[in-house]
Copies of this chain bind each other. A is one copy, B any other.
Amino acid sequence: MAILLYELVGADPHRPFSPHVWKIALSLAHKGLDFATSPVPFTSVPAVEGGFSKTVPVIRDGDELVSESFDIALYLDRAYPDRPSLFGGAGVLAMARFVERWSQLTVHPYLGGAALMDIHDCLAPADQAYFRTSREARYGGRRLEEVAAGREAGLAAWRASLEPLRNMLTYQPFIGGAGPLYPDYIVAGAFQWVRVVSPYPFLAADDPVKAWFERCLDLHGGLMRKVPAAT
């Protein structure tokens, strides 16, 4: 039986956008595992599998339920050791933990703020109300429109902050080396998130990080390209 992946969507159930869910979709494809998806809008996440997790991704694999993207990746490597590994070895696992926190601290905060109105605008009305209330609380009561207005001013510093990734990618095509591993999916998930919700050119056309993301878009039969970029 195929693994079931619960994925976050807005008004259009065919445009999943959660960066963390994309990490797992890519991971399932990497391991060559069959999976089906179940679209979940923000306000339905608490009902997934009887309230199993406050967030998606959640996967159901037979009787097993697993949440939290990193834990799911570890589960997949443990449960399917004969399939291509997501980590390759202890060195890449350590790198993955580092890249995961780096991505959350460096890549996500700017993108999350800059794409705030884009995300809002792709949601159904009930989810828009939830999104506005929860996010405005998270941003200390500032209005979504106000937070998103910092997009232009923050762009250059954010692009500069990608330098550790950019530098590494001048030496090798993927974070994982010659081919992609879970650390690639961690960061690719973030770029796919904004690709699906926003037409804004977050990455400069000549950025080696952009070239790497294009390579990621080609992976696994163009899995991420199946959702066309926002226009």
Which chain B residues lie closer than 8 Å to A168 at the CB level?
A: 94, 97-98, 101
Q: Work out how many copies of this chain go into the complex.
A: 2
* A163 sits at the interface (CB 8 A): yes
CA distance A98 to B212 in the complex (A): 15
A-side binding surface: helix, strand, loop or mixed? helix
CA distance A62 to B101 in the complex (A): 43
Q: Flag if A98 contacts B177 (CB, 8 Å).
A: no
Contact of A98 among B100, B101, B165, B178 (CB under 8 A): B165
* A149 sits at the interface (CB 8 A): no
Chain B residue nearest to A174 (CB atoms) is B94
* A205 sits at the interface (CB 8 A): no
* A24 sits at the interface (CB 8 A): no
Contact with B along A92-103 (1 / 0, CB 8 A): 101101111110
Residues on A lying within 8 angstroms of B by beta carbon are: 88-92, 94-95, 97-102, 105, 161, 163-165, 167-168, 171-172, 175-178
